[in-house]
């Protein structure tokens, strides 16, 4: 009788121990929603690409047929002396962007920690990626939000389905990024990167020298991208309008040339140390409405 009692008692204890082990295992391994790291290696070039990714997520509401399976992933990658950030879609069915030379420009509304920001992203024709690389500040801005917040929400306008947002769990990003990409961040930002406030400061300098051309429509695609190369003293070594095909449109050409004139009138510009080359977006609609 005593032996039976001991057997039952030990049996119950072992059951409890097993349940405790399962509970602890579940807690310590409940990281499916956290960001994770992967590496791809190019043996021929002798380089490694590091990728830090969120889980694939669906929109906050079910999308209408045939896009109900659309999922997206927020990704930051790095290699050697560069890093990049983009959103991968299993199916791209977005609308509302501005079509340019070989790509579509989207203005994304991003929410993190209760604050809202507009960040530019581009989609090359036929690609499933939206890239945060229009300027150095775009990828830096989204990377900083991922670093400082456990969750980042991004809203997209889906074709025939309206505005939907995706909740990206960005927990664990800082640790993974600092371990695998921090060196790349410091190198690339010293070359081309501007913070959002630095970019706005640079634009405000240019706007002070800008004369508004008369008769510009503010309901057309008048986003001008210019690439600027600087000398150490802030004077402009070279300025280039990147949307060459759109220059055939008269009112666009007038607007683009007015931006270049403003740059020349304002130089030397106050440019942060280490900035040699940047790309800036000038949206006449935003300027005229502001």
pLDDT in tens, 256-285: 888 888 889 988 888 877 677 788 877 766
Q: How large is the average pLDDT for residues 70-89? A: 89
In this predicted model, what pLDDT tens digit does every residue of 106-130 receive, in sequence order? 999 999 988 888 898 999 988 999 9
Residue that has been written with the tokens 């590496």 in this structure: 39
**Tens of pLDDT along 198-243?**
778 888 888 888 887 776 666 556 677 888 888 878 888 888 887 7
Q: Which residues of 186-202 are buried (b: 16+ CB within 10 A; e: fewer)?
A: eebbeebbbebebbeeb
**pLDDT tens digits, one per residue of 30-66:** 334 689 999 998 888 778 899 999 999 999 887 776 6
């Amino acid at each position: 009788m005593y032996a039976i009692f001991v057997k039952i008692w030990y049996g119950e204890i072992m059951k409890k121990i097993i349940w405790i082990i399962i509970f602890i295992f579940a807690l310590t391994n409940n990281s499916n929603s956290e960001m994770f790291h992967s590496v791809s290696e190019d043996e021929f070039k002798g380089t490694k690409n590091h990728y830090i990714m969120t889980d694939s997520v669906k929109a906050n509401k079910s999308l209408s047929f045939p896009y109900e399976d659309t999922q997206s992933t927020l990704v930051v990658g790095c290699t050697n002396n560069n890093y990049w950030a983009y959103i991968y879609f299993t199916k791209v069915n977005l609308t509302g962007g501005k079509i340019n030379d070989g790509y579509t420009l989207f203005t994304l509304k991003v929410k993190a920690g209760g604050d809202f920001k507009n960040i530019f992203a581009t989609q090359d024709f036929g690609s499933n990626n939206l890239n945060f690389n229009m300027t150095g500040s775009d990828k830096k801005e989204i990377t900083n939000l991922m670093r400082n917040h456990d969750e980042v929400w991004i809203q997209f306008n889906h074709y025939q389905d309206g505005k939907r947002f995706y909740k990206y769990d960005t927990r664990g990003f800082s640790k993974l990024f600092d371990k695998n990409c921090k060196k790349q961040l410091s190198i690339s930002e010293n070359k081309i990167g501007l913070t959002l406030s630095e970019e706005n400061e640079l634009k405000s300098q240019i706007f002070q020298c800008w004369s508004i051309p008369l008769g510009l429509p503010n309901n057309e695609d008048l986003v001008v991208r210019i690439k600027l190369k600087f000398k150490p003293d802030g004077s402009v070594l070279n300025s280039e309008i990147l949307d060459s095909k759109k220059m055939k449109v008269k009112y666009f050409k007038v607007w683009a040339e007015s931006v270049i004139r403003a740059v020349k009138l304002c130089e030397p510009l106050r440019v942060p140390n280490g900035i040699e080359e940047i790309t800036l977006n000038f949206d006449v609609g935003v300027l005229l409405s502001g």
